[in-house]
Amino acid sequence: MFLTEGAQGLGLFAFAPLIILFPFLGLLINLTIGRKLGEKGVSFIAISAIILAFVIAVLQLLALLGQPIPLGATVPIAEWITVGDLSISWSMQIDTLSVAMMLMVTSVSALIHIYASGYMHEDVRHQGDPSRFTRFFVYFNLFVAMMMILVTADNYLMMFVGWEGVGLCSYLLIGFWFEKGKDGIGNAIAGKKAFIVNRIGDFGILIAMFLIFWVVGSLRFEDVFHWAHAFGEENVLIISVITMFMLLGVAGKSAQLPLFVWLPDAMAGPTPVSALIHAATMVTAGVYLIVRSSPLYSVTEVTSNIVAIVGTATAFFAATIAVGQSDIKRVLAYSTISQLGFMVAAAGLGAYVAAMFHLITHAFFKALLFLSAGSVIQGIEQGHHDAEHEGAEIEEPFDPQDMRNMGGLRSRMKLTFWVYLIGALALSGFPPLAGFFSKDEILADARIENTGLFLVLLAAAFLTTFYMGRQVLMVFFGKPKTEPAAHAKENPPSMTIPLLILGLLSVIAGALNAPGLHTLTDWLDDTLEHVHVTEFSISVAGIAVIFSTVAVVLAWMIYGRKPMKKGEPDPLRKILGPIYTGMENNWWVDELYQFLFVGPYVKLSQYLADVVDWRFWHDWFHDTVLAKTYRSLSYWLAWTFDLRFIDGIANGLADVTKGAATRLSVLQTGYVRNYALAILAGGLLILSYFIFR
Amino acid sequence: MLAEDLLMNASLSILNWVTFAPLIGVLVIAIIPRKRHDAIRWTALITSLIAFVISLYMLSMFDQSNPDLQMVVRVPWFNIGGVEIEYFLGVDGLSILLVLLTTFLTPISILSTWSAVDERVKEFMIFFLLLEIGMVGVFLAQDLFLFYVFWEFTLIPMYFLIGIWGGTRRIYAAIKFFLYTMAGSLLMLLAILWLGLEFSSFSVPDLVANAKIPPDFQFWLFLAFAAAFAIKVPMWPLHSWLPDAHVEAPTAASVILAGVLLKMGTYGFVRLNLQLFPNASIDLAPWLALFAVIGIIYGAMVSYAQKDAKKLVAYSSVSHLGFVVLGLFALNIVGIQGGILQMVNHGISTGALFLIVGMIYERRHTREMDAFGGLWKIMPIYAAFTLIVVLSSMGLPGLNGFVGEFTILLGSFGSVALGSSLYAIFATTGVILAAIYLLLMFQKLFLGKLDKEENMVLHDINWREIITIVPLIILIFWIGLYPAPFFDLMGPSVEKLVEGLQSAAMVMR
């Protein structure tokens, strides 16, 4: 059962399966005895599991560094599906790309787990069900395990297990407070939406896998890429089709146009979920998939161009929406979509390393921003509680996530403010923070490859700085707009220490692929082919920084100079008019989809169920056509035909039929029994014919 | 052979025991006073467990490298028109999993009736055990006539299970179930008689090996058999009896109906249509696949619009079995193995779904999904089990449904017989649609606010209910993570079947 023969001589690589196993063990322990452990014990188990996974990731890094050329290893675990020509194992591919993902995911996960142990302690009490603390960490551990399956798989099918597995965790965690949200069901519906939209994407992945299998004969990365290497040129068309279907999956998971609609709603999940799953890790899986499949993508110019266009369009489109949001987390959600667009665009342009670089830096600063936002929300909730205690008047319902209820938090939550600022600056791409280097690499690539896309990306970068400026000014500057904001409190160390570490990472992560050093480029070069070094471009960096500075100034002029007062409309509404309304309303994409797809689907299924299936097939065809016709026929047989002709010939048989007919015709269901008897009689007749012929 | 030898042979084979072990229980129950419900229940349960153990023993004797029939029992029975009809049982890779599925689901179903069935327990259990005999017989019979006898025999106990212990419209549903199946099987009977008399044998392996049925005849014979099987599966648009039967049937009967009885139809396609009429199978494969794909999408959409949870699950069977038929008529190894595995998977997942719906029905006496909401809060164990089953049913990778669906879709995508990937592409949309209706069901029952008075006092599932569902959950994970033993069992037989199809195709060209 277990493929052990390959495991010898793997050295440290042999430990790789533990990176999946530890989180699983963590969740199993908490699932079975979590109730007895208490909150401390549960979070200890969950956090330890992830830290151990991180240790394994580091071991894998060391193992790679120990190789003369870090080519990595394949670590087989067990046989999985072997049918006909299809042969797929549970098997891990440890190489520079997967180790980069392992390190990023486990480190960010560990920090967010620690943060969540503090956050969820408060959250479960605010929401009124402390017993769900354990469940949260069970899901959280499961998520990490699934994410590890996703990034370590050595074939598409195993990757797909992780791919849908993280989607399941996303579903469960978005709907974690399943009785909350709009009408008490809003959160559950948001989770379902995420799952279904992702399934639409997964349809694409499935078709891509079918094509790959029937063309290549294998789903292993190694075989597929080898094939692409050897026969890619003459199979450009089929590879284009494969990669296009795959792109559908990418659009689902990484929230790209046209499937991005689930991610903003996913903010219904607790904030650590938004940080870990819907910003730092899961949503980047699509980018990872493209990068992993780069041997396929780099063959086909058609798809690569489409990928670049989809990414760029998403980057810009989502950035415009972010400008018009007033919910602190929704701004960040659209920002995530936009940044994922940058990564996808980079991958489409062939700048796979730039995409990975931005994926990693973004994981740090976006996790930081989300967690800080969580800190803000919880600070305000605390303030809400305290203000109520002091008898202050608060408008109900009070939304602790609405930035229009905030303001002036700079002085009340100093640490949160500073780390938030670092995150915002990193995201905006100010030197020397992490986002500066990674975004510059993408922009520099775009400028070389495609000027049109470069300009759109630049505009998106401009909007990024603008909406972050707007957010920071609305949340932290000016005067508190409500009592809860005025009473806001800083959070305990379990929450703030992870913020500090992530803040530090957001500052220094740019060094990963600093200009001139190309550490990450060299590192990934051993796994990815066609890696090209993008030289740091002073001019591009200069332009980007100038744009960002202008955006900050603009944001200050609009939101900083004269802070909005409570109840005052957004100043941008006056300036932009209907455009602002569009931004505020997500450009009515949800409404459009409702009109085009959801509504018609619901109507069509109801029509099929009520009219076609029930009234036509069930009532009319069966009950009327079949049954009634038969009933009339049997009456005719019994009373006319039967009496006159058969009676004398086959007495016994006819008597049964007739007797039954007379007796049962009074009953409502009589006709069918009669029918049964007639069939039986007919069967006997036929049988006797064969026997006695 | 001498008569004594034949008798020896017959009594020694384990397959007799696998088939007729429940008869012992029937006889014991017959002498237990009817008031002693618990004694009757325990007898039935123990008998069915013994049958299961015997089937495991059969499994241990099964040589999975051998593609042919094993543990054969073959005794002349009687003859018509000079042609011998035999009592002929045998098991191979095509049927062994279904035999095990039957003996596995029967004790689970019996356990689920503990508190649900409180009237005429004696008759109920007798019918239930008789039903098991019929089902196992269908999967083991290798003589066409014997097959037909077992096939029709299953109708009678099921007819009474629905008609006596069912819901308010039980008589209507029971008769409809009976007539639909009967109507289809009459055509099959005609075809069986014609085949047997024309080729002087009713033995399936002999007919496969010796009879070269002319393609013109194959066409009509195929249709005659297909009529019986398509109604049983049921394939669209012959499914009209299914929602009635399921809605009215008691939980245990629904579990068996969906879990095993429907598989008799898909099994019939594999055992008889593909083997006996390979040319017709190749010719008609696109048509069968077309109806299968329509069924997948149609069933999923109609499921979505249901308000009654049990009806939703019933229609989902139309969709799921569409996948099975599609896989079988891909006529390649991957598709057929996927199809057979998916029969088992559907038995597990849908069986479990019916158990789950039954548990809530027993508590609230309604299955209207709008009557619930927020149950997760007070029934967390029940919710967790349901979630796993729902995920299995919608084919989440890592669980059993995915392995079956993936291999079916993969097989049909590249199928030469179907000649087009469009069938698989349309069928794959069923994966999206399944998530839509199943998550809706889960949401309506478990998520949202717990705001209905009647629901607030519900208690979580008890130990007996946990025991009924846990074996299914274990299999859901087992097949999902490590399906190799299951594929290995059927592998050689399916390969042989596909070789037969291929050589038929060669002759045709």
DSSP of B115-131: TT--SSHHHHHHHHHHH
Q: In this structure, are residues A536 and A444 in contact, taking their beta carbons and an 8 Å threshold?
A: yes
Residue B508 confidence class, pLDDT cut points 50, 70, 90: low
Residue B263 CA to chain centroid, in angstroms? 3
Nearest to B305 among A189, A606, A673 (CB): A606
- Please count the helices (runs of H) and the strands (runs of E) in chain B: 23, 2
Residue A605 sits at the chain B interface (C-beta within 8 Å): yes
Q: What mean pLDDT do residues B212-235 have?
A: 91
Alpha carbons A283 and A265: distance in angstroms, whole number? 14
Chain A nearest-CA distance from B352, in A, is 20
Number of other residues whose CB lies within 10 A of the CB of residue A538: 11
Q: Do B172 and A206 touch (CB under 8 A)?
A: no
Chain A positions in Cβ-Cβ contact with residue B377 (cut-off 8 Å): 129, 179
Chain B positions in Cβ-Cβ contact with residue A179 (cut-off 8 Å): 374, 377, 447-450
Phi/psi of residue A278, nearest 5 degrees: -100, 20
Q: What pLDDT digit, counting tens, does each position of B177-189 carry?
A: 888 888 888 889 9
Chain B nearest-CA distance from A473, in A, is 36
- Signed CA dihedral, A166, A170, A173, A179: sign only: negative
Structure confidence at residue A669 (pLDDT): 46
On the question of pLDDT at B212 being above 70, the answer is yes
Structure confidence at residue A35 (pLDDT): 87
Give the chain A residue whose CA is nearest to the CA of B187: A683
Chain A positions in Cβ-Cβ contact with residue B316 (cut-off 8 Å): none
Chain A positions in Cβ-Cβ contact with residue B428 (cut-off 8 Å): 203, 206-207
Structure confidence at residue A179 (pLDDT): 92
Residue A179 sits at the chain B interface (C-beta within 8 Å): yes
Q: Do A618 and B391 touch (CB under 8 A)?
A: no
On the question of pLDDT at A219 being above 70, the answer is yes
Chain B nearest-CA distance from A199, in A, is 6
Q: Do A210 and B409 touch (CB under 8 A)?
A: yes
Please name the amino acid found at residue B418. L
Q: Find the range with the poorest average confidence among A163-172, B97-106, B181-190, B360-369.
A: B181-190
- How crowded is the C-beta side of B262, counted as CA atoms within 13 Å? 38
The larger pLDDT score, comparing residue A233 to residue A199, is at: A199
Give the chain B residue whose CA is nearest to the CA of A89: B482
Q: Do A210 and B424 touch (CB under 8 A)?
A: yes
Q: Find the range with the poorest average confidence among A134-148, A190-204, B79-93, B378-392.
A: B79-93
Nearest to B403 among A81, A178, A621 (CB): A81
Q: What pLDDT digit, counting tens, does each position of B260-301 carry?
A: 999 999 999 999 999 999 999 999 999 999 999 999 999 999
Instruction: Share the mean pLDDT of chain B.
Output: 92
Residue A36 sits at the chain B interface (C-beta within 8 Å): no
Interface subset of A 106-145, CB within 8 angstroms of B: 129
Chain B positions in Cβ-Cβ contact with residue A84 (cut-off 8 Å): 332-334, 337, 411
Q: Do B301 and A608 touch (CB under 8 A)?
A: yes
Q: What pLDDT digit, counting tens, does each position of B125-165 carry?
A: 999 999 999 999 999 999 999 999 999 999 889 999 998 89
Q: Do B179 and A165 touch (CB under 8 A)?
A: no
User: Cα dihedral angle (B279, B285, B288, B289), rounded to 10 degrees?
Assistant: 170
Please name the amino acid found at residue A535. E
Tell me the percentage of chain B whose pLDDT exceeds 90.
77
pTM: 0.92
On the question of pLDDT at A691 being above 80, the answer is no
Q: What pLDDT digit, counting tens, does each position of A242-253 carry?
A: 999 999 999 999
Q: Do A80 and B491 touch (CB under 8 A)?
A: no
Nearest to A691 among B80, B411, B431 (CB): B80
Residue A564 sits at the chain B interface (C-beta within 8 Å): no
ipTM: 0.94
Chain B positions in Cβ-Cβ contact with residue A213 (cut-off 8 Å): 410, 413-414
Q: In this structure, are residues B270 and B494 in contact, taking their beta carbons and an 8 Å threshold?
A: no
On the question of pLDDT at A642 being above 70, the answer is no
Residue A553 confidence class, pLDDT cut points 50, 70, 90: very high
On the question of pLDDT at A259 being above 50, the answer is yes
Among residues A379, A174, A388, the alpha carbon closest in space to that of A283 is found at A174
Helix (H, G, I), strand (E, B), or coil: what is residue B203? strand
Q: Find the range with the poorest average confidence among A6-20, A282-296, B440-454.
A: A6-20
- Give the residue from B394, B436, B455 with the most A CB atoms within 10 Å of its CB, the best one to mutate: B436
Structure confidence at residue B503 (pLDDT): 87
Residue A667 confidence class, pLDDT cut points 50, 70, 90: very low
Structure confidence at residue A683 (pLDDT): 60
On the question of pLDDT at A666 being above 70, the answer is no
Chain A positions in Cβ-Cβ contact with residue B424 (cut-off 8 Å): 210
Using CB atoms within 10 Å of the CB of residue A611, give its burial: 0 to 12 exposed, 13 to 18 middle, 19+ buried.
exposed
Residue A347 sits at the chain B interface (C-beta within 8 Å): no
Token digits for B225? 């058999």
Structure confidence at residue A189 (pLDDT): 95
Chain B positions in Cβ-Cβ contact with residue A34 (cut-off 8 Å): none
Cis peptide bond prior to B286, omega within 30° of 0: no
Task: Tell me how many residue pairs between chain A and chain B have CB atoms under 8 A apart.
Answer: 175
Nearest to A693 among B81, B175, B411 (CB): B81
Structure confidence at residue A670 (pLDDT): 44
Q: Do A196 and B413 touch (CB under 8 A)?
A: no
Structure confidence at residue A684 (pLDDT): 60
Tell me the percentage of chain B whose pLDDT exceeds 70.
97
Chain B nearest-CA distance from A185, in A, is 4
B289-to-A316, B316, B329, B415 alpha-carbon distances in Å: 44, 18, 6, 11
Structure confidence at residue A564 (pLDDT): 81
Nearest to B302 among A207, A608, A622 (CB): A608
Structure confidence at residue B10 (pLDDT): 53
Q: Do A213 and B429 touch (CB under 8 A)?
A: no
Helix (H) / strand (E) element for B361: namely: helix B333-364
Instruction: Share the mean pLDDT of chain A.
Output: 88
Q: What pLDDT digit, counting tens, does each position of B466-489 carry?
A: 999 999 999 999 999 999 999 999
On the question of pLDDT at B424 being above 50, the answer is yes
B464 Cβ contact partners less than 8 Å away, ≥ 6 residues apart: B111, B114, B115
Q: What mean pLDDT do residues A309-337 have?
A: 95
Structure confidence at residue A623 (pLDDT): 78
Alpha carbons A95 and A73: distance in angstroms, whole number? 7
Nearest to A210 among B305, B374, B413 (CB): B413
Chain A positions in Cβ-Cβ contact with residue B374 (cut-off 8 Å): 178-179
Q: What mean pLDDT do residues A424-446 have?
A: 92
Residue A673 sits at the chain B interface (C-beta within 8 Å): yes
Residue A1 confidence class, pLDDT cut points 50, 70, 90: very low
Among residues A60, A230, A51, A81, the alpha carbon closest in space to that of A151 is found at A60
